[in-house]
Structure 1
Amino acid sequence: MGRLLITIRNRIWSAICAWDEFWFKPMAPTTLGVIRILSGLMLLYTHAVWGLGLDAFFGANGWQDPLLIRSQAVSGSTGISFWWYVQPEYYQLVHWCCMALLLMFTIGMMTRVTACAAFIITVSYATRALNANFGLDQINGFLTLYLALAPCGDALSFDAWWARRQARRKGLPVSEPIPRASTRLATRLIQVHLCLLYFFAGVSKLKGEAWWNGDAVWMAVANKEYQSQDLTWLAWHPWVSHLLTHMTVLWEMTFFIAVWNRAWRPLVLAIGIGVHLGIGSCLGLWTFGLIMLVPYLSFISPETMYSVLVWVRAIRPVQVLSPVEANPVETVSWWPQYKHIKFTGWPFAACDRLDINAPRLHLVCDDSNLCGGLLTDLTSAGFHCQTSPDIADLCTALEHHPVDVLLLIAHDEDTSDDIIDFRRILLQMGAATPASVVVLLDGETHDLRHSNAHICLYRQPLFEQLRRSVLLALCERTATEEEADQLRQRAGVVTAPSLNWTNP
């Protein structure tokens, strides 16, 4: 009964940790910076088009006079729009002020302010000209809303460039943007909103007979008002349009499930790219087709986006100061920058005196179920524990929180490479670093240099072997031989059963 309660508690705790990590794990802003730039460019284009007919769109005697809009409003509300309060003689002045703010948002100038302004501007234009409001304006609206919640100007922006320039002038260290929880939150909101958008688009299609009998795609490409490419040859091959029609509905209604599977995600997004580029090229709706691809970027990790930008030479790699030149607290917290540096000193918070009765242990493990079980057993064994899902998150934590021992668990080749690179830094620094135990579950042995303070375990060790290895590694970080003897004595005591390393 006791083990059942522990299992239930671990499962609940793992679920809570997974939920928190999904929404709030700190994230670098590189991807949001790219989304901000592309969204800003589309905003500049669409609002320039609005500007071609300000009187026609917003004037009292235009295409959509106030009486018409109010008669169409739901519950008597016409929505948020400053255009209700602007006099016709000031239309041009207000419009160009809005264009200036959108340009500042695009280049990332005063981004915290201009991101909020971009959302207000987008909503104001769209809700005042209600009958000219299409899918493009709705996508612009939700992108600007979520970008306003995050520090999207911390990367690829004038603000970031200016901060680096001022730091260099003052002789201060230059670092990459700090990963923040708000960046992850905004990214997830974009992803979830996109999933909901596709799902309800698919559900709404089920109300149309043409989507049931397979004629919907044919009716779209045969419509002269939208026809950019002559696809009337499909009339001789009706099975093609029928297949495309049914596959479109299936893809939209399953997008919110399939896109979260890492194996399926490239295929799901590739289909979406094909769909929206097809809408642009065949139906002439290029602005809608392109803006729908911008949220897709939210599924690209900041590390991958950074590598792509460097590869296409859109940015230059930031030269990171070594710990000799920079204060350790101000060093870069982005792991890809760390692992290429040959350190001359421990770049994180200095390790203070070890308390052998409650050693501080930091666990790195990307399996939430395994992590929950380990936390319970390690805490029961007398360790004061913290966790990180990967080395990048560990680097951020170590900048401010010293630890006595690191327990690094690698499930696959990618995590093994990062952990081995980090272990190489530990070996370079000697006694200045925490002790460590590396567990390589992928079975690869690697060519790892032995050290009593940095132990390697392979395959699936029993918890007792794991606990003993941690204590023996800590022996090398004690202040006295007496403390080391006490740890060796504890290492010989069996306290916990074997551990299940596989996912349930």
Structure 2
Amino acid sequence: MKGHPIGLHGPAAGREPARVLRSIERFALAPASAAPLAVLRIGLAAVLLLQAALVAPALFELYGRSGILQGPLRDVFARTELPRIGWAVELLAPLGVGEDSVILGTGVIYVLALAALLVGWWTRAAAVLAWLTHLMLMTTANSTVYGVDSFANIFLFYLVWMPSAAAFSLDLQLGRVRGGPTPAARLGLRVVQLHLSVVYLASGLGKAAGEPWWNGEAIWRSVMLPEYRQFDLAWLADAPWLAVVAGWTVLLVEIGYAFLIWPRRTRLPWVVATVALHAGIALFMGLLVFGAIMAVLTIAAFAVQSEPPGPAAPGAAARRAQAS
């Protein structure tokens, strides 16, 4: 043994990998409350129901072959390798079911699935139907889709597998699922948290790689483009430093998200900053659904208590008995 550095051999060296594995296991699988996943389920379903109400008046214009994008043109823009309404139309045509009926039926199933998801009734089946019909609607009207639709579909897919019914649900009240902390709830929560951390970090670094977010140009364009303009902010031309500060703030919030939303001391300020950022997007750019969904995701992932309650502290009488 002479000549070998101290600490590389013996029981201590064998304990180190085991300690690392235990830490990973605690991080990913320590039993946790399903409350954050339930809040994600409820918040996402509520926002998507709001979006459905906004889209409903233009249902056939968006998804029909005689709508805004007609016939083959719509099919060119559609992502044909994924499920879409056209598949259901072709499948049901021999039965005499027309395109309008298929579109309406898909929309009704989607809304009913979201309502069931909201209250947690047959939650997993509702998540499957909501995800599938959302995917069909999204791929059929692919030219009108933007980032929030992709986010919504991804997290609907997560809800298919996560135990979101284990809290705040009819399924729990009716005894269809068990409540209480579970490793599955912890794993589901970690997936959501890590996903959001990577997304915000990538978005922030992507913005930081160009000049527009450093010199205020990106902020100026965001509030002045006709399709996003909600208020007359032309006066920003006389105070360009405000746009610069706003751009730097966006970079700080997004890049800092992956690092500062995890520690307990900085978690709440970063949740508030992130929600405020998306509230600003909704207010000044009119992207209400986008702002609401992103706020729901952060609140559910980092602002809802996931740790199971610890053992109750002994009462005064018990403490006196222990002392005596």
If the length of structure 1 is used for normalisation, what is the TM-score? 0.56
Distance 2:252 2:309 in 1: 39
Alignment equivalent of 1:62, drawn from 45, 67, 83:
67
Counterpart residue number, 1:292: 294
SS of equivalent residue, structure 2 residue 242: helix
Equivalent residue number for residue 120 of structure 1: 132
Offset from partner CA, 1:331-375 (integer Å, 9 cap, x none): xxx546x63xxxxxxxxxxxxxxxxxxxxxxxxxxxxxxxxxxxx
Residue 209 (structure 1) shift = 4.0
1:134-213 equivalence runs, <5 A = 134-163=146-175, 177-206=179-208, 208-213=210-215
Q: Quick one: structure 1 residues 8 and 104, their matched pair in 2 at CA, closer, same or farther if it must change by over 3 Å? A: same
Number of the residue aligned with 1:131: 143
For residue 174 of structure 2, give the secondary structure of its aligned residue in structure 1.
Answer: helix
Where does residue 442 of structure 1 map in the other structure?
Answer: none
Shift of the 68–12 alpha-carbon distance from structure 1 to 2, 3 Å rule, reads farther
Pair 1:89–1:240, CA change in 2 (3 A): closer
Matched ranges for 1:227-242 at <5 A: 227-242=229-244
- Within a 5 Å distance, the mapping from 1:82-481 to structure 2 comes to 82-86=85-89, 87-90=98-101, 91-163=103-175, 177-206=179-208, 208-296=210-298, 297-302=300-305, 335=309, 339=312, 421=313, 424=314, 449-450=322-323
SS of the aligned residue for 1:178 comes to: coil
Would the aligned equivalents of 2:278 and 2:292 in 1 still touch at CA under 8 Å? yes
Offset of 1:272 from its aligned partner? 1.0
Of 12, 19, 22, the match for 2:27: 22
**Distance (Å, rounded) in 2 between the aligned partners of 1:65 and 1:14:** 61
**Unmatched tracts of structure 1, length 5 or more:** 165-174, 305-333, 340-420, 429-445, 452-504
Deviations 1:219-259, CA, capped at 9 Å, x for gaps: 22223432223333322211111121123123322321222
Residue 61 of structure 1, CA deviation: 2.6
Judging changes above 3 Å, is the alpha-carbon distance between structure 1 residues 203 and 3 closer, same or farther for their aligned structure 2 residues? closer
Distance verdict in 2 for CA 1:240–1:114, change over 3 Å: same
Q: Residue 10 of structure 1 aligns with which residue?
A: 15
Task: Quote the Cα distance in structure 1 between the aligned partners of 2:301 and 2:321.
Answer: 37
1:81–1:183 distance in 2 versus 1, CA, 3 Å:
farther
RMSD of Structure 2 on Structure 1 (CA): 2.9
| Structure 2 residue aligned with 1:385 | none
The equivalent residue for 1:401 is none
2:52 aligns to what?
47
1:24 is displaced (CA, Å) by: 1.5
**1:111-141: CA deviation from partner (whole Å, max 9, x where unpaired):** 1211122211222211111011122212211
| CA–CA distance in structure 1, aligned partners of residues 290 and 161 of structure 2 | 24
1:434 maps to: none
Question: Which secondary structure does the structure 1 equivalent of 2:251 belong to?
Answer: helix
| In structure 1, C-alpha distance between the alignment counterparts of 2:71 and 2:182, rounded to whole Å | 43
Cα distance in 2, alignment partners of residues 213 and 14 from structure 1: 47
The one-letter amino acid of 1:102's match is L
CA distance in 2 between counterparts of 1:118 and 1:97 reads: 8
Give the Cα–Cα distance (whole angstroms) in 1 for the partners of residues 86 and 76 of structure 2. 17
- Segments of structure 2 that go 5 or more residues without pairing to the other structure are 90-97
**For residues 234 and 294 of structure 1, do their structure 2 counterparts lie closer, same or farther at Cα, with a shift above 3 Å needed?**
same
Moved over 6 A (4+): none
Identity %: 26
Please tell me whether Structure 1 or Structure 2 has the larger radius of gyration of its CA atoms.
1
Note closer, same or farther for the CA distance 1:89–1:266 as it changes in structure 2 (3 Å cut). closer
Structure ranking higher in helix proportion: 2
- Hey, what does 2:95 align to over in structure 1? none
Aligned equivalent of 1:501: none
Q: Is the 8 A contact 2:49 2:114 kept in 1?
A: yes
Tell me the distance in 2 between the aligned counterparts of 1:202 and 1:189. Answer: 20
Q: Is the 8 A contact 2:281 2:287 kept in 1?
A: yes
Supply the distance in 2 between the matched residues of 1:84 and 1:55 (Cα, whole angstroms).
Answer: 16
